């Protein structure tokens, strides 16, 4: 079965054709990084406008690259939430137009579910149930995936997401957007014990995160140093900060895995590209006799292959939208209306 995936939740306009949820036939991504770099982050209105300009040619190229026509496609899967509302609306509306013109069914896909599905492509043998750490620019969740379309959140951030935390520190250090990626690169070989950061404790849930204190501590450290005319060693600072963020992510995932008994652990979302996080998750899983799955680097960030993959599983479970499908800035991964 061939699914055409469409993604426009943030700053990548993407389309892909995937066979049976696992095999990429084509994947096209039009990145807007160059448009947003001068602002140091994504400007929502610019993102929406670039999506409008790019989407037709991106979809056309995905279908052509796959060596097929719309007659060969079985359904159109589209990211409907969560994300920038104006950006999401472009993809959703395009999918509706396509459905109207071709008669293809529309499958609504939750963005974080699609990040999880990137692993079904990288590791075709991976099947639920598993425990998944999903870390992106806007979300940090620990989720039990009991089936392809059954998700249960057991831990989440109370404030900022891990990606947001990386981005803000990178920006304060003067590193260009996209911050998390550049912070990762700038920190390779740094001494992670040089700078001290708080280890936030969240009361109420053993698996919830809080990153805002860490982020504020980093920004204050950088500003205080600049006021005193002191140099910050970016390499050591970045390494120390990434250590603090990833320690929290890995220790909560370890606790959740031990308590729930899951032996299959999955990493997903843009931050899953982080080199330290990948290594530490690997070490933690090895120590506990758990098997770790991570997306290949090209599938960590936003792309449409992961949307087509999750779309396949949503489609075969009967999740089909009608023409009243709307985009939503927030939506619970478990399937409720709001987060």
Which residue lies nearer to ligand KG4 by CB, 46 or 316? Answer: 46
Q: Which of 5, 86, 108, 138 binds ligand KG4 (CB under 6 A)?
A: 138
Which residue lies nearer to ligand KG4 by CB, 128 or 269? Answer: 269
Please give, one letter per residue, the 3-state secondary structure of 92-152.
HHHHHHHHHHHCCCEEEEEHHHHHHHHHHHHCCCCCCCEEEEEECCCCEEEEEEEECCEEE
Asked whether 304 and 7 are in contact (CB, 8 A), the reply is: yes
Residues 283-312 that bind Zn ion (CB under 5 A): 302
CA dist 79 and 124 (Å) reads: 22
Q: Which of 274, 309, 310, 319 binds ligand KG4 (CB under 6 A)?
A: 274
Which residue lies nearer to Zn ion by CB, 81 or 170? Answer: 81
| Residue 184 touches ligand KG4, criterion: CB under 6 A | yes
Two tokens, residue 236:
């050591």
CA dist 248 and 161 (Å) reads: 12
Two tokens, residue 55:
């989407």
Pattern 195-234, ligand KG4, x by CB under 6 A: ----------------------------------------
Give which of ligand KG4, Zn ion, none residue 27 binds (C-beta under 5 to 8 Å, depending on kind). none
Q: Which of 86, 238, 301, 311 binds ligand KG4 (CB under 6 A)?
A: 301
CA dist 42 and 167 (Å) reads: 11
CA dist 272 and 274 (Å) reads: 5
Smallest separation (angstroms) from Zn ion to the CB of 129: 23
Q: Is 165 helix (H, G, I), strand (E, B) or coil?
A: helix
Smallest separation (angstroms) from ligand KG4 to the CB of 167: 5
Residue 116: closest CA among 314, 276, 275: 314
CA-based torsion, 321, 326, 331, 337: positive or negative: negative
Two tokens, residue 141:
């969740």
What region, left, alpha or beta, does residue 174 occupy, with left being phi > 0 and alpha being psi -120 to 50 degrees?
Answer: left
Smallest separation (angstroms) from ligand KG4 to the CB of 188: 11
Residue 108: closest CA among 95, 126, 125, 123: 95
Smallest separation (angstroms) from Zn ion to the CB of 94: 19
| Residue 30 touches ligand KG4, criterion: CB under 6 A | no
Among the listed ranges 23-31, 174-182, 220-228, 286-294, the one in contact with ligand KG4 (CB under 6 A) is 174-182
Which residue lies nearer to ligand KG4 by CB, 63 or 166? Answer: 166
Which residue lies nearer to ligand KG4 by CB, 10 or 232? Answer: 10
Smallest separation (angstroms) from ligand KG4 to the CB of 45: 18
| Residue 136 touches Zn ion, criterion: CB under 5 A | yes
Which residue lies nearer to Zn ion by CB, 186 or 304? Answer: 304
| Residue 314 touches Zn ion, criterion: CB under 5 A | no
Smallest separation (angstroms) from ligand KG4 to the CB of 59: 20
Name the maximum alpha-carbon separation found in the chain. 66
Residue 115: closest CA among 208, 190, 12, 44: 12
Which residue lies nearer to ligand KG4 by CB, 116 or 274? Answer: 274
Tell me, by CB under 5 A, how many residues bind Zn ion. Answer: 2
CA dist 176 and 276 (Å) reads: 20
Residues 22-61 that bind Zn ion (CB under 5 A): none
Neighbours of 35 (CB within 10 A): 15
Which residues bind to ligand KG4, rule: CB under 6 A? 10, 115, 136-138, 163, 166-167, 178-181, 184, 269-271, 273-274, 301-302
Which residues bind to Zn ion, rule: CB under 5 A? 136, 302
């Amino acid at each position: 079965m061939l699914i055409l995936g469409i993604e426009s939740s943030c700053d990548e306009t993407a389309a892909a054709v995937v066979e049976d949820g696992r095999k990429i036939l084509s994947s096209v991504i039009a990145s807007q990084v160059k448009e947003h770099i001068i602002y140091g982050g994504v400007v929502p209105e610019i993102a929406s406008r670039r999506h409008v300009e790019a989407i037709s040619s991106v979809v056309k190229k995905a279908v052509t690259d796959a060596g097929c026509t719309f007659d060969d496609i079985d359904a159109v899967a589209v990211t409907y939430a969560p994300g920038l509302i104006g950006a999401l609306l472009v993809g959703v509306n395009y999918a509706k137009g396509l459905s109207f013109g071709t008669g293809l069914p529309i499958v609504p896909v939750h963005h974080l579910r699609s990040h999880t599905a990137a692993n079904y492509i990288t590791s075709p043998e991976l099947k639920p149930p598993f425990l998944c750490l999903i870390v992106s620019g806007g979300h940090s969740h620990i989720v039990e995936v009991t089936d392809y379309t059954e998700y249960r959140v057991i831990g989440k951030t109370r404030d900022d997401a891990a990606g947001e935390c990386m981005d803000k520190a990178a920006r304060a250090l003067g590193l260009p957007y996209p911050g998390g990626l550049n912070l990762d690169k700038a920190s390779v070989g740094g001494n992670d014990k040089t700078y001290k950061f708080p280890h936030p404790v969240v009361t109420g849930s053993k698996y919830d995160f809080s990153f805002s204190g860490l982020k504020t501590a980093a920004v204050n450290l950088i500003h205080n140093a600049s006021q005193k005319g002191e140099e910050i060693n970016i390499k050591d600072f970045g390494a120390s900060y990434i250590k603090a963020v990833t320690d929290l992510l890995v220790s909560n995932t370890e606790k959740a895995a031990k308590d729930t008994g899951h032996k299959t652990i999955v990493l997903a979302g843009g931050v899953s590209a982080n080199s330290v996080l990948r290594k530490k998750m690997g070490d933690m899983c090895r120590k506990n006799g758990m098997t770790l799955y991570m997306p290949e680097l090209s599938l960590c960030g936003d792309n449409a292959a992961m949307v087509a993959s999750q779309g396949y599983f949503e489609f075969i479970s009967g999740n089909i939208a009608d023409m009243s499908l709307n985009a939503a800035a927030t939506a619970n991964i478990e399937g409720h209306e709001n987060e």
